[in-house]
Structure 1
Amino acid sequence: MELEGTRHLRVNMFTSAILTLSLVAVSARAVPQPVTPDVQPISLSARKVPKGHVSSLRKRAGVSANVALDDYFNGTDLQWYGDIQVGTPPQNISVIFDTGSFTLEVTGTECGEPCANQPKFDTSQSSTYVGSDDVTTLSFSTGIGVDTLQSEDEYVLWLRAGHDTVSVGGFSTPDVALNTIINQTEAFDADPMGGIQGMGPAAIGFWKGLQDQGINALFGLYLSPKSVGNAELTIGGIDSSKYTGDLTYVPISPTSDGSWELDSPAVYVNGQTVSAINTERTFIFDSGTPNVYFDDADVVEAIYALISPDIKPYDTEPGTYGIACDKIDQLPAQIDFTFMDTSGTPFNLTIPSSEFNVGPFEAEPTLCQTMINALDGLDLIGGSLLKQYYSVWDISNQQMAFAKSTSAE
């Protein structure tokens, strides 16, 4: 979802704060030396932190904890979300863990009927909540799951600023800035979760509190498909049981405006490339977005030309493309994104053909949406790639890492 005025992206409830992108030639910058994270991979088995056992868990697991994630599934994998605790005593709120944003928003009881389908945070029941009269609105550029924006006013939130204690995976931080949702447009009705926990690459909010306690500002994501299940977020460490082989580390782009952005010299489709995609661009990695976006329709159409001439724009939802559902699953559609690791060696991250079919358009069920969309000003990689890999998001060292996910074997 893209916030009006500040260019934030949103693809389900509250997803992804996206900032301005800049193109960069990989060969023109100095290649950073490899950085070894100050945590060792560990093997975790517990999926939830038992209440009252945080101290012993820290000693056993190197100050790390796992949080179970659910998959919001609507014919395809859309978003992964899990529980955090807000307030004193703690109230459970399900949130998207969104690598495209920094702040925390939770649905509040003040919202009432417009938020009837979401779990809510009751500020009056928290002894540590500090509220304010500061109310703002946020507008977004894309909508529920894989749908596209139909109007500027379709996805809007009204937020009240405040502070309270926040716990994730048993780790607690006091006085975290948060926004309670006091009203929203009806387009959000389908969302089963009650907010968003920003997971951007800046040590602020909850992450600043962890650092102040000597806990690593680092997390791992195992975004397994619904058919596999057991998706998890690891706070403060790396779960080596969720991947095979070695992790490959990549520095955040030096031109990043504050998102998880990686420089790419080229994209390949079924092993081929053309001038439109054989060029340097910077991709945002966003756990809150299911699909892939390019900022130019000509680029998207050059990709589809390498797959099938039958893939056409779907004018009812601008920026999307489709093909007859009885043809799509037979198409070869492997997409390889090339990146440079911390030693300057190129490697590929791959989306297999099995991810290409997003499912039928609601208004035209015999036509299936293809995975790559066009949206001005945005080059973004979402869950269709991230669920192929175990990913590490290292805030302290401003880098990411990838290894093949055990769920993709």
Structure 2
Amino acid sequence: MKHPTSTVLLALVFAHATQTLGQSPQTIHLQSRVAPPGASLKRRALGPANVPLADFFKGTDLQWFGNISVGTPAQDITVVFDTGSSSLEFASTLCGQACANQKQFDPSKSSTFVDGGRTSSITFATGVGVDPVVGSNYKLTLRSAIDTVSVGGLKANNVNLFLITNQTPTFNIDPFSGIQGMSATAQGFFASLISQGLPSLFSLYLTPKAVGNAELTIGGIDNIKFKGNPTYASLPAGSSSTWRLASPRLSVNGKTTSVLNTQRSIIFDSGTSNVLFSTATTEAIYSLISPDIKPNPAEPGTYGIACDRIASLPAVIDIEFTSQSGTPFNLTIPSIFGMLAVVGWGLLPFRTNSKGLGWQWHTFKARLNKAQHDHINSH
């Protein structure tokens, strides 16, 4: 609500006096004063904050992670900002040896910590590295809690979170302690910031190790890193908390097939290095690159080709979407990001998944450009 330059503020003065039936009504005197020119009763909104991100590099860029602070006094831990998750969970001293490779939050040292008393587990459909997920090899055991959380100087009290009390050995390589979910429906920390007036927008600038300076901007867009006008696309009905868009077409070097020219859902997940398609879609993509691309027997669901062939197989891959205005636009994976050489065998990025999940966003295009997301419940 906007207010005129000269705004009258009413100050109510209450008298703490008992009143019995039959007494005359008590008079409360109202006093007025005029606010200075330019003053406003508008709630002071939070401003955007930039959070530097480190690159977990192991042969290729696997994850980008940054610092958050939890508890009172604050304890710093590192997390992946994951658009494929909705909750905040991180290693704790309750995890013991299973989390020995990660920095652990100590709840006994936080005066604002509240134990939620509820235990649960979560199994991930995609992993940290490029290896496929097999069964429950990426699983966390959690305990609910509440505490104060700060990210980039933005603070939220009474945030629902989870302490990791056990984890499978596949997490041992992680240089970060946990995950901060950034799903399409704002929850926990981000829901609190939005209620405090922060614009319900965040953006990711994910770069290769050689470029550096990766960044998360909470509540806005870093205009130093992003130039031009953003193109916005609406999430389809039923997306719930998933960053999901419908795509009518995929093409390779400007060519498509009947399989690729089919409507499909694409999921944007900043917490994985994998690119997952159905077997039919994956093999249709590779058929337009080279007939010599074959399934990798060492890792079911993956494909590869001899490393000395990679340079001769340029492949620009376009994924088509539709903007809010109804205009088609392409998300392009440059050829330079299309292949990964691994010990004489070129491990290719597109792999199969029995659940038919869509393309996982960050590994390629987001290394070059800024990904921007508006929360569904924007204010």
Question: Is TM > 0.5 for Structure 1 vs Structure 2?
Answer: yes
Quickly name the TM-score band, shorter chain normalised.
0.7 to 0.9
In the TM superposition, what is the alpha-carbon distance from 1:149 to its structure 2 partner?
2.3
Corresponding position of 2:100? 116
Alignment of 1:273 with 2:256, yes or no, is yes
Structure of higher RCO (CA pairs closer than 8 Å, 6+ residues apart): 1
What amino acid is aligned across from residue 366 of structure 2 in structure 1?
Answer: L
Secondary structure of the equivalent of 2:80? strand
Q: Which moved more, 1:322-331 or 1:261-270?
A: 322-331
In the TM superposition, what is the alpha-carbon distance from 1:291 to its structure 2 partner?
3.3
Normalised by the length of structure 1, the TM-score is: 0.79
- Gaps in structure 2 of 5+ consecutive residues: 1-44
In the TM superposition, what is the alpha-carbon distance from 1:396 to its structure 2 partner?
4.7
Equivalent-residue separation in structure 1 for 2:126 and 2:239 (angstroms): 22
Alignment of 1:394 with 2:374, yes or no, is yes
Corresponding position of 2:358? 379
Corresponding position of 1:199? 182
In the TM superposition, what is the alpha-carbon distance from 1:317 to its structure 2 partner?
1.5
Deviation by residue 1:272-319 (Cα, 9 ceiling, x = unmatched): 00010101111111111223211x201110110000111111132121
Secondary structure of the equivalent of 1:82? strand
Equivalent-residue separation in structure 2 for 1:274 and 1:380 (angstroms): 18
Alignment of 1:351 with 2:330, yes or no, is no
In the TM superposition, what is the alpha-carbon distance from 1:257 to its structure 2 partner?
3.3
Q: Is the CA contact (8 Å cut-off) linking 1:103 and 1:205 kept in structure 2? A: yes
Alignment counterpart, residue 225 of structure 1, candidates 208, 212, 218: 208
Q: Is the CA contact (8 Å cut-off) linking 2:128 and 2:272 kept in structure 1? A: no
Alignment of 1:98 with 2:77, yes or no, is no
Secondary structure of the equivalent of 1:243? coil
Rg larger for: 2
Equivalent-residue separation in structure 1 for 2:103 and 2:172 (angstroms): 12
What amino acid is aligned across from residue 367 of structure 2 in structure 1?
Answer: K
In the TM superposition, what is the alpha-carbon distance from 1:166 to its structure 2 partner?
0.7
Secondary structure of the equivalent of 2:73? coil
Output aligned runs, 1:43-82, within 5 Å.
63-82=47-66
Corresponding position of 2:239? 256
Q: Which moved more, 1:389-398 or 1:222-231?
A: 389-398
Corresponding position of 1:10? none
In the TM superposition, what is the alpha-carbon distance from 1:156 to its structure 2 partner?
1.8
Cα pair distance change 1:306/1:107, threshold 3 Å: same
Q: Is the CA contact (8 Å cut-off) linking 1:351 and 1:388 kept in structure 2? A: no
Question: What is the aligned residue count?
Answer: 334
- Gaps in structure 1 of 5+ consecutive residues: 1-60, 399-409
Normalised by the length of structure 2, the TM-score is: 0.85
Alignment counterpart, residue 283 of structure 1, candidates 239, 242, 266: 266
Secondary structure of the equivalent of 1:154? coil
Q: CA RMSD in A?
A: 1.8
What amino acid is aligned across from residue 240 of structure 2 in structure 1?
Answer: D
Output aligned runs, 1:227-246, within 5 Å.
227-246=210-229
State, as a whole percentage, how many aligned pairs show the same letter: 51
